Amino acid sequence: MIKYIETLKESRMTLTALIFLIVFWLIAGFGTSNVDATFFNIPLWAILGTVGVWLCGVIIAVLLSRSIKDINLDNKN
C-alpha cells in the first residue's frame, strides 16, 4: 500500500510540474511576443520560449528528483 501512495504522490508532483512548465512556456513565449528586446539579434520571446523553458525543465527535474523517495518496487515486502 505504501508503494501505491508513493507512486501516486510522484505522479501528482510530475503532473503539477508539467502544468507549471506549460504555463511558463505560454507566458515566456507568447506573453513576451510584444516586447521589442533582443539579445544577439534574437527576439526575447524566442530565447525565453526555447532556452528559458529548457532551463526551467532542468530545474524542475532536479527538484523532483531530490524530493521523491527511493522505494523498492519489487513484489516482496
Residue-wise DSSP of 52-73: IHHHHHHHHHHHHHHHS-----
Q: What is the pLDDT of residue 39?
A: 86
Could you tell me the pTM of the whole model? 0.76
- Torsion angle (degrees, nearest 10) of CA 71, 22, 53, 43: 180
| CA neighbours closer than 13 Å in the CB half-sphere of residue 16 | 9
Q: Name the range with the highest mean pLDDT among 32-36, 40-44, 66-70.
A: 40-44
**Would you place residue 67 in the very low, low, confident or very high pLDDT band (cuts 50, 70, 90)?**
confident
Confidence check: pLDDT of 56 > 90: yes
Confidence check: pLDDT of 70 > 70: yes
**Would you place residue 49 in the very low, low, confident or very high pLDDT band (cuts 50, 70, 90)?**
confident
